[in-house]
Structure 1
Amino acid sequence: MFQLLGAVLIGVGSWGFNEKQRYGEGVSYHEDFDFYKIVFDLTIVMIILGIVIFVLSFAGCLGALRENVPLLKAFSYTLSALFLLELICAVVAFIFSSEVKAKLTDVLKDEAITRYRDDIDLQNMMDWVQKTVKCCGISPSGYKDWTNNAYFRCDPNDPKSNPSVERCAVPYSCCRNPDNFESSMINTMCGAEQQLFAYREANQFIYVDGCVDVVLEVVKSKLYIFGGIFIAVAVVQVRSG
């Protein structure tokens, strides 16, 4: 089952990556190495995750069938290393929660916001998060974060300094009601000029709070559920290893 899952992830990720290359999107072969561009390219993440899952499950399955000790050791040691890494990340995130939150916010604000229009997969993911969690932007500045994107950049003193038709706007996924009442289609310009409004005025039409704070509040409210999922995954890894 896991081998099949890994193969599917590799196949879908490879297909998506090739499609992006055809249309000039995503990571280019000719560009200098950019860590964050790779991290925020979902097709590359899918390929890497698929390879890890496929190779690891293949080693465990073949090692068990053939009673191959080196393969079983590799499977066991890798699972143990992954479990230890997850545990370290969880402890660090708990002890240095404010520092981790600040770093995560800065990275997402600097990278995800600015790349929003450059990668359709990243754009769809951010739209889904904003619509689902009912948030807008990343940091405590919320909807004002979108001024960091070239298309939405906004200078309150001189809005027309940005020639984009989306200047001072926010993505439609920030809107409380993005549907066009006449045609029932999504009005992609429902967030037009919302950055020019103050928090209370904008809050009538769009979500104004940053997604990091909103997501953390959701996690806190469902802490037992997320904790149970983490423990279940850890138990499976320990027993498999």
Structure 2
Amino acid sequence: QIGSLSCISYGTWMLTHKSNIIDNVTDVFLDPYVLLCVVGAVVFIVAFIGCLGALRENIYLLKIVRLFIHHICQFGCCGVSMSNDGYLDWQENQYFNCSDANPSMHRCSVP
């Protein structure tokens, strides 16, 4: 939770000290510091729900945390995969896999 709070505070600090002027809504959504704040907030909420659920032995809160972890593993988010290959599942990527049939110029390179 400390790491997520530091992400939120660093993102907020950078947003307030930035000299760019926001012209439209897309500037807000494409700003990396806004993304850092959002990711930090989501991590904080999930960690807080997990801590509270474990502390109070609340089954419903623990099921919510299990649902988040299941989605992370199911979608392969953040380098997490359920296969034995782990991070090597980039071989399944059509642009980066290292096979002779791949015509991409990024073949056999690191994404």
Amino acid at match of 2:94: S
Aligned-pair CA distance for 1:67: 0.9
Compute the TM-score of the two structures, normalised by the length of structure 1: 0.34
Q: 1:75 to 1:15 in 2, by over 3 A?
A: same
Partner SS, residue 26 of structure 2 = coil
Task: Give the equivalent residue in structure 1 for 2:94.
Answer: 97
Task: Give the equivalent residue in structure 1 for 2:20.
Answer: 24
Report whether the alignment pairs 1:46 with 2:36. yes
Q: CA RMSD in A?
A: 3.3
**Unmatched runs of 5 consecutive residues or more in structure 1:** 101-139, 141-212, 221-241
Partner SS, residue 8 of structure 2 = helix
Task: Give the equivalent residue in structure 1 for 2:100.
Answer: none
> Equivalents in 2 of 1:92, 1:44: separation in Å?
30
What are the Cα deviations for residues 48-82 of structure 1, in whole angstroms up to 9, with x where unaligned?
12111111110100000001111111001101101
Amino acid at match of 2:93: F
> Equivalents in 2 of 1:66, 1:55: separation in Å?
16
> Equivalents in 2 of 1:42, 1:34: separation in Å?
10
Task: Give the equivalent residue in structure 1 for 2:72.
Answer: 82
**Unmatched runs of 5 consecutive residues or more in structure 2:** 98-104
What are the Cα deviations for residues 192-214 of structure 1, in whole angstroms up to 9, with x where unaligned?
xxxxxxxxxxxxxxxxxxxxx6x
Q: 1:34 to 1:85 in 2, by over 3 A?
A: farther
What are the Cα deviations for residues 212-241 of structure 1, in whole angstroms up to 9, with x where unaligned?
x6xx74x49xxxxxxxxxxxxxxxxxxxxx
Partner SS, residue 20 of structure 2 = coil
Partner SS, residue 95 of structure 2 = helix
1:15 to 3, 7, 13: 13
Amino acid at match of 1:70: Y
Aligned-pair CA distance for 1:93: 4.8
| Bigger radius of gyration among the two | 1
Aligned-pair CA distance for 1:91: 9.1
What are the Cα deviations for residues 93-133 of structure 1, in whole angstroms up to 9, with x where unaligned?
53333289xxxxxxxxxxxxxxxxxxxxxxxxxxxxxxxxx
1:158-197 residue pairs with structure 2 within 5 A? none
Task: Give the equivalent residue in structure 2 for 1:195.
Answer: none
Aligned-pair CA distance for 1:92: 8.2
> Equivalents in 2 of 1:50, 1:94: separation in Å?
30
Task: Give the equivalent residue in structure 2 for 1:57.
Answer: 47
Hey, which bits of structure 1, 4+ residues long, moved more than 4 A?
Answer: 90-93
